Structures are given as structure tokens and as C-alpha cells.
Structure 1
Amino acid sequence: MRLSSSLKVLALAAALSAPAASAFAWGASGHRVVGVVGAQSFPTDLPAFLRTPDAVAAIGEYAREPDRWKGSGKLHDTDRDAAHFLDIDDQGRMFGGPAFTVATLPPTRADYEKALQAVGVDSWKAGYLPYSIIDGYQQLVKDFTYWRILSAVVKTEKDATKLAYYKADLKRRQELLIRDLGVWAHYVGDASQPLHMSVHYNGWGDYPNPNGYTQSRQIHFQFEGPLAKAVDDEKAIKALVPAYKACDCSIETRVVGYLTTTWKQVEPLYQLEKAGKLNENDPQGRAFTQERIAAGAAALRDLVVDAWTASAKGTIGYRPEISVSDVESGKADPWFDLYGKD
């Protein structure tokens, strides 16, 4: 649907007046194509229900959801807005706090908060995007673990009552997986937008600027909104997605590597803007924007494959836990861990 001229003006004014923490990363078009292209790139060894046209479309729509939550209320927005970004400074530090490396990334949000407070800031100012992605990944591993166990027991359960429950719960799990994966895709997509990885998030700002980069408060919105929409060629973006490459590393290593690559694109973005090339009619500007969107789709695909692989060794339950392999081999009965022990 096309916006009227007056609505376009209002939308632009709202975007320009919004504080940094509430700025979107990619507009609806960018987030949708990250979700859709990422899901279209899932390999065939992932569960088939995730690869249907309906699932792919749903993931694309859910990938927009965290931006559609905005305006829910002060408490809601204040806590969640900082999930979309991480302000890395020119020294590679997280808003003046720890260096953004695998070795120095605090292991939890609480540890991160303490590290930032030590330099007089907090995660509501600095952002906590790496933790949004790691949190969602761990949730996805658990979702896949339940799916594997339910898929196993629906094939072997003889009790009619239990079987009926397992079938219904498998359906619920599949619906939940699509929703969890799709919403999480938003944050994975955020991390491919360079201006969501830098203190220079909307104009170079109050920092040394020997190269004379723009101070325009329009650059953030124009790049991730109108420009991303104008170059939203799904086929062209999909062609830029490389083949999956296993990391054989921790999720922290995978995420820090991905976000660091994006951060390194901040200055090239400003260089394009300074040269007048950051627009839909310039081949370099188009290519840069499409490559960044494709990077989000590739990261989504890679992280989902990693989560699926990790879930093969997943467990459910509590004291004792039972594993996927125990259920698949018939060693463990998951009834009480699935239906509930109380």
C-alpha cells in the first residue's frame, strides 16, 4: 500500500525526531526480505515445516514485529528499544566500556551492565544487541530440541491419550518455532545495518571528524528506509547470499564476528554518502545496501542451521534432564517432561 504525501511527511518527521534508541534498523521492506531470503536459504536437512511457502512468508512478517511493538508504553519501550543496537566507538569499545571482542564480551546482561556502569553509562544508552541475538539463538536451540523429541515420540507412542497430546504439542511447537524464529530474525537483521553498530548512528556526531562526514540527522532513516525499499529486489539480494559455512565455534564467537564485520562498514557507508553515492540510482550505493541486507539473511540462515545442529545434543527436563538421543533410542520416556510432572 502506498502512503499519501501527507502521511509520508509525517512518517519522515517522526523518524527524524525519534531518539537514537527508538530508531528502526531496516524498515518493513528490509526486515521482511531478511526474513524471507534467510528462510528461503534454509538447507533441506532442516525440518520441512520451516521451508514451506507459508512458513517463509510468516518468518518475513514476524521479522518486522519488534518494530511494530514500539509505542506499547514507557516501561515496555524503554527496556526493549536498546535491544536493537550496540554503540561501538572508534576504539572498538562498547560505548566506552569493554572492547567488543569475544574475550571481553561480558557473559551475561548483568555482567555487561556492571562493566558499563564502571565507566558511567548503561545498556539502555549503549544498546545490547549481541545479547538479543545470543538469547534468541539459545531459545531456538531449545525449541528445536523439543521438536526433535516430539517428532520421535509421535512415531513410537502406543498409548492413545499420550499420542494425541504429543501430536497436538508438536503442532504447537511448530507454530511457536516459526514465531520465535521470525521475531528473533528482526534482531539478526538489525545487526547487518552498520548504523546500528556505531556511535555514529545518525550523522557522525560529537566526535573527531577529520574526513568531514555528514552530520545530517536524516542519514539513518534514509539509508534503512527509503533506500533499502528502493533496492528491495529479492532475487538480486538472494543471489548475494553465500553458501553456509560452519563456524565450529561458540555462539558468542559467531555473533561477535558477524557484528564486527558490520561495524567495519560504518565508515564505508559515510564515504559513500560523502561522495553522493548513497542513493538508489548509483550502482555502488545500490550494491552496498543490497549486500548489507543479504548479510542479514545469510547470518539468519547460518545461525538457524547452527541452532538446529546444536539441538541434536539438546536436553529437556530438570534433575534429571533427558536428551534427544535418549528419547530417540527409547532409553527415556519424555511424558512427564513434556506434559508436566506435577
Structure 2
Amino acid sequence: MKRLVALAVAALLATAPGGALAWGGSGHRMIGQEAMRSLPGELPGFLRSPRTILDVGELSREPDRHKGAGRLHDTDREGAHFIDIDEQGKLLGGPMMVPLAVTRADYATQLRLFNLDEWKAGYLPYAIIDRYQQLTINLAYWRVLNAAIVNPAWKGNRVWFKEDIRRREALILKDIGELSHFVGDGSQPLHVSIHYNGWGDYPNPNGYTTARIHAPFEGEMVKSRVSQVDVAKAVAPFRSCYCPIEQRVTDYLLKSRDQVIPLYEMEKAGGMKPGDPRGGTFATARLAEGASELRDLIVEAWRASATTKVGWRPIAVQDVLSGKVNPYVALSSVD
């Protein structure tokens, strides 16, 4: 609740609409669009179309746009946008973030030992992993449906397959939009730090600002000083870590946490003042990092989707692709 109050005040101080609690709309839109523009040719064509690129840019903003739906809705989801890590890698001075607990239930148990909960500490890594896994299974369904619809032996179910592809593609865009949002949150250093809105009530020997810099940094400064062309130029080549998704996500968030001190150093040196290019340069690099990571996770999800199972009772994707199993019964449900 303390964090909600602090960031609500920051929102009122920000000049950019919707500028608090994440990158502003401009930043999230850039991350989503540039990730999609940099997808390799191995990804399905519908994901690389100009319409999809624009749609994902807008859907990337959605977890912020539906804030205000109600107290239960907002309170339950707020922790998805951040995780409060200190300089020692601890969560609010409690447990270490790494190794990441296997499930949110395990995470909650871990936090309770220190009189903390996931709403205080945040659960951003779980929000990212959840959307990644959801995207993977929906891409697996897409693979199966597209193989099924062109198999002449299964033409009797072709109408149903065609309609389910339409539904599946809508779900995939929703998955990517939400994944984009939370990956984007993770690229903003103030979303992965106890110093999320000014240095706060902590030892401060370097004299970092205690002003509410969260919304001004990610909102109006990005909108006025960051060029999408520059973000696109800074997007990195694809990188696979050949590791479990839990490791990839924690590595990504800790790398972003390492930018907290540089951000405060930049602010202390005047980089956020009007006309100073350093703030825009810093934000550009962080937005490009978010776009690069999002693109990589989408590619990883696509590759992983080829080796999973779908439907009930579960069938292997490869058995459908090889023509061994007609997926209709498993996909339309045997109840």
C-alpha cells in the first residue's frame, strides 16, 4: 500500500498522461513495436505484419490501461509490475531473490518468513514467466491447427480448425501484449529496486535524490526526448541463453537492477534536466534492452512450442505435424 500511495502521488506530479507505475504509453509502445519489427523470418507471417506490429504496440500498454477497474482488481495485479530488490539481491531486506522460488505459492511462503508478502515485494518475474508459458502453449496450438487444416485426411474438421486458428491468433496477440508490458517494466531500473521513487529512507552516502523521479523519468522525459528510430537502432541481435526460463528472467531483472545506481548518478549529474541529452540516452538504452529481451522471449517461445503437447487428452505437437494424429478430438474436447 505504501508503494501504491507513493506512485499515485507521482502520477499526479507527472505531466505525461498515464505516466506512473510503468514506462509511460510511449515507452511501452516502442518496446512492443520494435520487438515485433526485429522478429526473424522463422516466426509465423501474421506476427510480422504491419498491422500486428501496430497492434502489439497498443496491447503492450493494456495492463496499465485497465487500472482503475476496481479495488480488488488493481490491488491484486499491482505487484505484477515490480519487484523490490536491494543492493545485496534481497527482497526488501528479506529473502534473496535468487534462486527464484519455483511457484508464486512457494514465493509467498518464502516472503512470509520475513513478515513480507508478494504485494509488498512485487512478483514481476512470475508475471513474465506466466505470460511466456502462456504464449508458448498458444503457439503450440497454432502450429497444430495450421498443420491440421492443410492435411487432406482431416478435411472434415477443416471449418472448425479454421475458426480456432482465428481465435488462437487473437489470444497470441493478447499474450504478446501482456508479455511485452511486463518485460518492459523489467527494463526500467526503478521497477526492480527498493529505490523505486527517489532513494528513500535508506543510507545515502552519495547524496542521491529523494525526489519522486519515477514518473518524470519514464513518462514525459521518454515522450519528449527519446526517438523510436534510436531505440530501433539500439536493439541487440537475437540471443538465446540455452537455459531455463526462470534463469533467463532472473538474469534479465538483475541486469536491470544493476542500472539503478547509474540512473541515480545520471540524475545527480543533471541528466534529467531539460535540454540535457544524457537522460534520453539512458532511457533509449533501457527501452532497447526491453525490446531485445521481448523479441528473444517470443523466439524462444516459438521454438519451445514445437516440442510440447496440447489438448485433452494431451497430444504431442510433433505427432500432428507428422500426420500421425488428427488433433480434432483432443482440441475440441473429449470432456
Matches within 5 A, 1:317-328: 317-319=311-313, 321-328=314-321
Alpha-carbon contact 1:29-1:232 (below 8 Å) kept: no
For residue 88 of structure 2, the aligned residue among 59, 69, 91 is 91
| 2:65 is aligned with 1:71 | no
Residue 54 in structure 1 maps to residue 51 in structure 2: yes
Letter in 1 for 2:194: V
With the length of structure 1 as denominator, give the TM-score of the two structures.
0.91
Work out the percentage of aligned pairs sharing the same amino acid. 50
Compared with structure 1, are the counterparts of its residues 285 and 121 closer, same or farther at alpha carbon in structure 2 (3 Å cutoff)? same
2:330 aligned residue: 337
Matched residue count: 324
> Hey, what's the Cα distance between the residues in 2 that align with 1:283 and 1:179?
35
| TM-score (normalised: structure 2) | 0.93
Q: 1:322: how far off?
A: 1.1
1:296 aligns with 2:290: yes
CA deviations on 1:138-159 (whole Å, 9 max, x unpaired) are: 0010011000000100110445
Residue 115 of structure 2 aligns with an amino acid whose one-letter code is G
1:215-230 equivalence runs, <5 A? 215-217=210-212, 219-230=213-224
**What secondary structure is seen at the aligned counterpart in 1 of 2:110?**
helix
Partner letter of residue 200 of structure 2? G
Q: The residue matched to 2:205 in structure 1 has which SS?
A: coil
1:283–1:23 distance in 2 versus 1, CA, 3 Å: closer
Contact 2:311 2:333 in 1 (8 A): no
CA contact (8 A) 1:203 1:215 kept: yes
Cα distance between partner residues in 1 of 2:10 and 2:203: 28
Tell me the CA shift for residue 253 of structure 1. Answer: 1.0
Unaligned runs of at least 5 residues, structure 1: 1-10
Structure 2 unpaired stretches of 5+: 1-7
1:190 maps to what in 2?
Answer: 185
After TM superposition, the structure 1 = structure 2 runs for residues 1-342 of structure 1, keeping only pairs within 5 Å, are 14-16=11-13, 23-101=20-98, 104-217=99-212, 219-279=213-273, 281-319=275-313, 321-342=314-335
Q: Secondary structure at the match of 1:307?
A: helix
Q: Is contact 2:31-2:288 (8 Å) kept?
A: yes
Closer, same or farther in 2 for the Cα pair 1:189/1:112, shift >3 Å? Answer: same
Offset at residue 100 of structure 1 (A): 2.3
Query: Which segments of structure 1 move beyond 3 Å, counting only runs of 4 or more?
Result: 11-17, 157-161
Q: Given the superposition, is the C-alpha separation of residues 13 and 282 from structure 1 closer, same or farther in structure 2, using an over 3 Å criterion?
A: closer
Check whether the contact 1:98–1:105 (CA below 8 A) recurs between aligned residues: no
Q: Deviations over 1:147-191 (max 9, x none)?
A: 000010011044554101101111111121112111221001000
Q: Which amino acid aligns with 1:240?
A: A
